[in-house]
Structure 1
Amino acid sequence: MKFTFTRNKIIYPIFVLALFIIVSCSSNNENEKPVNDIYLSIPDDHFETILIEQGIDSDGIVNKQILRRDAEEVSHLDLNLTVDFGEISDLTGIQGFTNLTFLSASGQKIETIDLCLNTKLDTLYLQANYLTSIDISNNPNLILVDMLSNQISSINGLSRATNLKTLNLSWNNLEEFSIHNESLEVLHISQNLLKSLDIDGAINLKNILLTSNKLTAVDFSSNTLLETLLISDNKIQNINLQHNSYLTHLYITSNSLTSIDVSNNQELVDLRVDRNPDLTCIKIQSGQEIPTISKSDYQELNNICN
């Protein structure tokens, strides 16, 4: 029996598969030059100059490329050690640093970043850039992510960062935020535009900073390990804290509360509830002592509130 094969039928599915892999893990920079097995493209002169200064780019010449092996030898990359070479606007080439565990590129002019191939990253500092979105779906080893002061309106892949402990997204443009990540312990997301917050899936959160947003309602019933909750300067009308018995610091000034009950929060040492115009009574348990309290003149602490 003789078998015959059509060449196109074999090549086509292979081509489609290869194309899928490339598209699903590619740079966002359309101007990126092709790379080969020997060299990585580094189109940003400031980026390459810093790599030369730190002894990473071994040829010592700003020529928009470095040896791939030079990049692969780096596990710790701090692009903020020197400030004399201008600001980086393009981090194309960072994908070739496949053994990176630490990356700091703060105070630059970076608008996009592709960390698809930096799968070993555990620490990421990208404060004070111009990022509008970021995808960390391929960075499961991340422990700390700090993207303070960008223009971020979306972030993808948080649920896959199963080792994540600290996340800082303060001073960004988020209007809604949802996270289902059981490893997260510290969440800073102040000075955003938040109207919606879903953190039910972050059951190990201990510290939350949510000041200066637009939240009208919050639910912390699943976050039973909470110790610090800073949520001042929002529009919150009511809050239920009966499940947060470990709470030590509660800042909820400048909101729209009409009532609040902290009688089940026996560990409280610092309570700030002033500047809630419609809140006159803060319910506490009889004999409950809170060392530091900040309240308005028209407010009182009582074990009975009507």
Structure 2
Amino acid sequence: MKKMLFYILTLAGLGAQAQNLRFPDNNFKEALLSNGVDANGDGEIQMAEAKKITKLYIDHANITDLTGIKNFTNLEEFGFYDNKLRIIDFSGMSNLKSIYGFNNEIERFNVKGCTKLQDIYLSFNKIRMPDVNGLPALKDLRLDNNAISNVAFSNVPNLEVLELQRNKMYTLKLDHHPNLRRLNLTNNYFSTLDFTPFKKLEEIWLMDNEFLKSLHIRGLRALKELHLESCPLLINLNLSGTVSLRKFNWY
């Protein structure tokens, strides 16, 4: 009888231990513990505790590895800015709506299958080839101050805000983005840009594009702001049809 009781208690202990989630980066685990994820106060994080979290911010924690984040299956809003991350993988996190990861060292990120994702803020990183294809809910994408040379988007029909300033871009392929309203491409290397397909554009920021020679904005009736400071090679500009233009800087 005593042996049987011991056996049962041992199995129970192993079962409880098996539910503890693994986080290879101790700084990540400590940040989770300090944010109240450990509801029962045992110094560990169980799957049941992770599933209760919908919003999480773990900034300024010297984190280099987010392994284990996919256990937070109901996470909707995640802030992890001012850390030391190089690669982030949120693929398959279908409830995720917003990620804020500026001021890291991110080179690659994976958001495949994040069909509810609306906001991506990954400014001030080292991203070269962003992949944001197949994000039907995405509205706000901010990848400024990275190392991007080229980017193409597909199946991102609801994009409204795109910020790519201070990168290393020469070309930009934007197709089927009827809802684009704000576009910031300041301080890049474009020579020709055509925005005439984007009838809802309200703001265009193109300052410090020293090689820009040709810009097409004719007929953009919703355009309210146009910023062209420090574009010395841009000589001619057709503004016909921009009936809503209220702020125009070009010198």
Q: TM-score, normalised to structure 1's length? A: 0.63
Determine helix, strand or coil for the equivalent of 2:237.
Answer: strand
Asked if the contact 2:97–2:116 (Cα under 8 Å) also holds between the matched residues in 1, the reply is yes
Q: How does 1:85-104 map onto structure 2 within 5 Å?
A: 93-95=43-45, 98-99=48-49
1:247 aligns with 2:183: no
Asked if the contact 2:61–2:82 (Cα under 8 Å) also holds between the matched residues in 1, the reply is yes
Asked if the contact 2:116–2:137 (Cα under 8 Å) also holds between the matched residues in 1, the reply is yes
1:232 aligns with 2:165: yes
Amino acid at match of 2:237: L
1:204 aligns with 2:137: yes
Amino acid at match of 2:214: C
Asked if the contact 2:200–2:220 (Cα under 8 Å) also holds between the matched residues in 1, the reply is no
Determine helix, strand or coil for the equivalent of 1:137.
Answer: helix
Asked if the contact 1:175–1:193 (Cα under 8 Å) also holds between the matched residues in 2, the reply is yes
Q: Aligned pair in 2 of structure 1 residues 277, 29: CA closer, same or farther (>3 Å)?
A: closer
Asked if the contact 1:241–1:264 (Cα under 8 Å) also holds between the matched residues in 2, the reply is no
Aligned CA-pair RMSD: 3.3
Equivalent pairs, count: 218
Q: Which residue of 2 aligns with 1:163?
A: 95
Q: Which residue of 2 aligns with 1:176?
A: 108
Amino acid at match of 2:43: G
Bigger Rg, structure 1 or 2 = 1
Spell out structure 1 runs of 4+ moving beyond 2 A: 21-30, 96-99, 285-289, 296-304
The alignment-based identity, stated in percent, is: 22
Higher RCO, 1 or 2 (CA under 8 Å, sep at least 6)?
Answer: 2
Q: Aligned pair in 2 of structure 1 residues 153, 212: CA closer, same or farther (>3 Å)?
A: same
Amino acid at match of 2:154: S
- Which stretches in structure 2 are left out of the alignment for 5+ residues? 1-10, 241-251
Q: Which residue of 1 aligns with 2:237?
A: 301
Asked if the contact 1:262–1:284 (Cα under 8 Å) also holds between the matched residues in 2, the reply is yes
Q: Aligned pair in 2 of structure 1 residues 242, 201: CA closer, same or farther (>3 Å)?
A: closer
Q: Aligned pair in 2 of structure 1 residues 270, 120: CA closer, same or farther (>3 Å)?
A: same
Q: Aligned pair in 2 of structure 1 residues 242, 284: CA closer, same or farther (>3 Å)?
A: farther
Asked if the contact 2:147–2:168 (Cα under 8 Å) also holds between the matched residues in 1, the reply is yes
Instruction: Find 1:145's aligned residue among 78, 103, 112.
Output: 78
Residues 44-84 of structure 1 deviation map (CA, whole Å, 9 limit, x = unaligned): 9x96xx98xxxxxxxxxxxxxxxx9xx33x8xxxxxxxxxx
Residues 97-137 of structure 1 deviation map (CA, whole Å, 9 limit, x = unaligned): 944xxxxxxxxxxxxxxxxxx22211110111100110212
Asked if the contact 2:216–2:237 (Cα under 8 Å) also holds between the matched residues in 1, the reply is yes
Partner Cα separation in structure 2 for residue 24 and residue 195 of structure 1? 36
Task: Give the deviation of 1:221 after TM superposition.
Answer: 2.7
1:219 aligns with 2:152: yes
Q: Which residue of 2 aligns with 1:28?
A: 24
Q: Aligned pair in 2 of structure 1 residues 248, 27: CA closer, same or farther (>3 Å)?
A: closer
Partner Cα separation in structure 1 for residue 239 and residue 172 of structure 2? 17
Q: Which residue of 1 aligns with 2:53?
A: 121
Partner Cα separation in structure 2 for residue 288 and residue 28 of structure 1? 53
- Which stretches in structure 1 are left out of the alignment for 5+ residues? 1-14, 31-41, 52-67, 75-91, 100-117
Task: Give the deviation of 1:159 after TM superposition.
Answer: 2.3
Partner Cα separation in structure 2 for residue 178 and residue 29 of structure 1? 19
Residues 144-201 of structure 1 deviation map (CA, whole Å, 9 limit, x = unaligned): 0000111111223x12321111001111111122321111000000100011211113
Q: Which residue of 1 aligns with 2:192?
A: 259
